[in-house]
């Protein structure tokens, strides 16, 4: 009888080893990391809202890591002021976000209406034809939408 139990035990161990050899455990294998794409909207001159957007973007980068997130801030209407050089408070904070990969979009329609020139924006901003369609298209492409 002992011999049968010994043999069953060895066979059982072999089966367990075979199952375990095909399993991966946390940290064993590099799993593909999801790249999060997030578009933020700011369309207000409210300093609190603008600061919240900055904090939210920093938090997203801190949580997911620079290489795992793509962020675009779309500004239009009164929110355009957030990315203008004359906005000293934001002009001091935005370069660090830009260095972390955040892209800053300015609404061309707003710029035209307010007669704002590209040179008045922070150097790393780019102009899109219109802010709202930019948001629509990002969402259609699967980007998460955040309005602080």
Residues, the chain? 148
- H or E element: which one contains 41? strand 36-42
Residue 42 lies in a domain: yes
Q: What is the pTM of this model?
A: 0.78
Q: Is the per-residue pLDDT at 113 higher than 80?
A: yes
Residue 1 has pLDDT above 60, yes or no: no
Residue 107's φ and ψ, nearest 5 degrees, are: -75, 120
**Could you tell me the pLDDT band of residue 49, with boundaries at 50, 70 and 90?**
very high
What is the total count of domains within the chain? 1
Which two structure tokens, joined as six digits, stand for 39? 């578009």
Task: Name the pLDDT band for 29 (thresholds 50, 70, 90).
Answer: low
Question: Does residue 5 or residue 95 have the better pLDDT?
Answer: 95
Strands 125-128 and 69-75, bridge-based pairing:
unpaired
Rounded average pLDDT over 122-143:
98
Q: Give the pLDDT confidence score for residue 133 in this predicted structure.
A: 98
Is residue 50, in this structure, part of any structural domain at all?
yes
Answer with the residue of higher pLDDT: 11 or 82.
Answer: 82
Domain assignment present for 7: no
Domain with 49 in it: 36-146
**Which helix (H) or strand (E) element contains residue 146?**
strand 144-146
Beta bridge partners, 40, equal 73, 146
User: Per the domain annotation, does 3 fall within a domain?
Assistant: no
In a domain, 1, yes or no: no
Average pLDDT over residues 94-122: 98
Residue 76 near residue 107, CB atoms below 8 Å: yes
Say what the pLDDT of residue 92 is.
Answer: 93
Tell me, yes or no, whether 57 lies in a domain.
yes
12 lies in some domain:
no
Q: How far apart are CA 1 and CA 129, in angstroms?
A: 83
pLDDT score at 30 = 59
* CATH code at position 114: 3.40.1260.10
Domain assignment present for 40: yes
pLDDT digits (tens, 9 = 90+) for 55-106: 999 999 999 999 999 999 999 999 999 999 999 999 999 999 999 999 999 9
């Amino acid at each position: 009888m002992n011999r049968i139990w010994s043999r069953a035990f060895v066979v059982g161990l072999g089966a367990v080893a075979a199952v375990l050899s095909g399993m991966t455990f946390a940290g064993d294998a590099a799993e593909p990391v999801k790249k999060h794409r997030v578009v933020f909207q700011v369309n207000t001159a409210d300093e609190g809202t603008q600061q919240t957007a900055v904090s939210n973007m920093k938090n997203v980068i801190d949580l997911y890591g620079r290489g795992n997130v793509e962020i675009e801030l779309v500004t239009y209407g009164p929110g355009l002021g957030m990315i203008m050089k004359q906005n000293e408070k934001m002009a001091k904070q935005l370069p660090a976000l830009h260095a972390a990969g955040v892209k800053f979009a300015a609404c061309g329609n707003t710029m035209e209406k307010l007669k704002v020139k590209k040179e008045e924006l922070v150097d790393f901003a780019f102009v899109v034809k219109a802010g709202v369609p930019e948001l629509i298209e990002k969402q259609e492409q699967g980007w998460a939408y955040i309005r602080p």
